[in-house]
Amino acid sequence: MTIHKIIAVAALSIVTVAGAAHAADKLVVGFSQIGSESGWRAAETKVAKIEAGKRGIELKISDAQQKEENQIKAVRAFIAQGVDAIFIAPVVATGWEQVLKEARDAKVPVILLDRGIDVKDASLYLTVVRSDAVYEGEAAGDWLAKATSGKPCNVVELQGTVGASVAIDRKKGFEKAVAEHPSLKIIRTQSGDFTRAKGKEVMESFIKAENGGKNICAMYAHNDDMAIGAIQAIKEAGLKPGKDIMVVSIDGVPDIFKAMSEGDANVTVELTPNMAGPAFDALIALKKDGKAPPKWIKTETKLYQPDTAKAEYERRKELY
Ligand code: AHR
């Protein structure tokens, strides 16, 4: 190991979740998590710990605080520790080749969670557990076109983190729906970085630029947290979210169901936070029977409207 690598390993703070001892028969998984930008992300981390516990797996979580360089350091640290597998929720899609080659050389399988990456050589990772994010954006757009009954509708879009596969795909999917429904028009689009604070800030600037919000028919956000920030901005501008400006977003976190039940939001497209469960199962099948998983383990997508919002809120607030 080089001095550089030793320093990187020592500098990383990695939290071990299930049991400190590394028994010979116990799988140890290192998880490079993006951070805690949204309610969905917090839920994914929580569910990963629960799913690890259910299977008796030791999970070491490293928080990258939204930085790819921290994720790369964490992966190197996990390799040095001799973990059985590495899970990565990649903050952005590019820049992964080198460190994934290092994992492959060390014979440590890598499973991607909730976001994809751009690599020429797909053998650099075992599988990816994620939704069809293009479909999520398309479902949101199709719903909006139907809900506005073909009447002209100016949409402002809050994008996720720049360079994240989910932001790219959710934009692509929504644009696909817009191309099929000419009544919808995206008049402004900007990143709100998947956070409530940024979602609110960007929405405020959209409202200011669009005649105090009067030119805006709907707001499409790549996640619920940005939508919740935007709802606040709409209220502060003296408008009624869900009515004066329709609110359409993705994730299915408890707070958006609360907003829907109060009439402040119109629809959410659910992304399950249980990415780790299917990843652990794929890893166990590989280790025990040598069975390789499909390259994409696709999670289910479901659209929710206000009619079930209250019940969904009650159900989810316990889970998250
Ligand atoms: O990659 C999944 C996305 O990342 C979620 O939709 C968003 O809330 C999170 O930050």
Ligand 1 centroid–CA 91 distance in Å is: 10
Instruction: Evaluate if residue 202 carries a pLDDT over 60.
Output: yes
Please say whether the beta carbons of 71 and 100 come within 8 A.
no
Please say whether the beta carbons of 164 and 227 come within 8 A.
no
Mutating to test ligand 1, I would choose from 34, 36, 41 the residue with most ligand atoms within 8 A of its C-beta, which is: 41
Q: What is the pLDDT of residue 25?
A: 77
Which range, of 14-18, 41-45, 102-106, 162-166, averages the lowest pLDDT?
A: 14-18
Specify the amino acid at residue 287: K
The average pLDDT across 272-301 equals 97
Ligand 1 centroid–CA 115 distance in Å is: 8
Q: What is the pLDDT of residue 320?
A: 74
Please say whether the beta carbons of 115 and 61 come within 8 A.
no
The pTM of the full predicted model, rounded to 2 decimals, is 0.93
Output the furthest CA–CA distance in the chain (Å, rounded).
65
Q: What is the pLDDT of residue 10?
A: 34
Please say whether the beta carbons of 39 and 296 come within 8 A.
no
Ligand 1 atom index nearest CA of 40: 8
Mutating to test ligand 1, I would choose from 114, 225, 249, 272 the residue with most ligand atoms within 8 A of its C-beta, which is: 114
Ligand 1 centroid–CA 299 distance in Å is: 14
Give the pocket of ligand 1 (CB within 6 Å). Answer: 37-38, 40-41, 114-115, 166, 194, 223, 225, 250-251, 271
From CA 274, how far away is CA 55, in angstroms rounded? 14
**Atom 4 in ligand 1: residue holding the nearest Cα:** 41
The average pLDDT across 170-177 equals 98
**Paired sense of beta strands 127-130 and 296-298, if any:** parallel
Q: Per the structure block, which two tokens stand in for 15?
A: 């939290």
Instruction: Evaluate if residue 9 carries a pLDDT over 60.
Output: no
Ligand 1 centroid–CA 1 distance in Å is: 35
Instruction: Evaluate if residue 13 carries a pLDDT over 80.
Output: no
Q: What is the pLDDT of residue 17?
A: 54
The average pLDDT across 10-28 equals 58
From CA 69, how far away is CA 85, in angstroms rounded? 19
Look at the chain and count its residues. Answer: 320
Which range, of 183-197, 259-273, 305-319, averages the lowest pLDDT?
A: 305-319
Tell me the three state secondary structure of residue 317: helix
Mutating to test ligand 1, I would choose from 33, 37, 38 the residue with most ligand atoms within 8 A of its C-beta, which is: 38
Q: Is 271 exposed, middle or buried (0-12, 13-18, 19+ CB in 10 A)?
A: buried
Instruction: Evaluate if residue 2 carries a pLDDT over 60.
Output: no
Ligand 1 centroid–CA 194 distance in Å is: 7
CA 312 to chain centre: 20
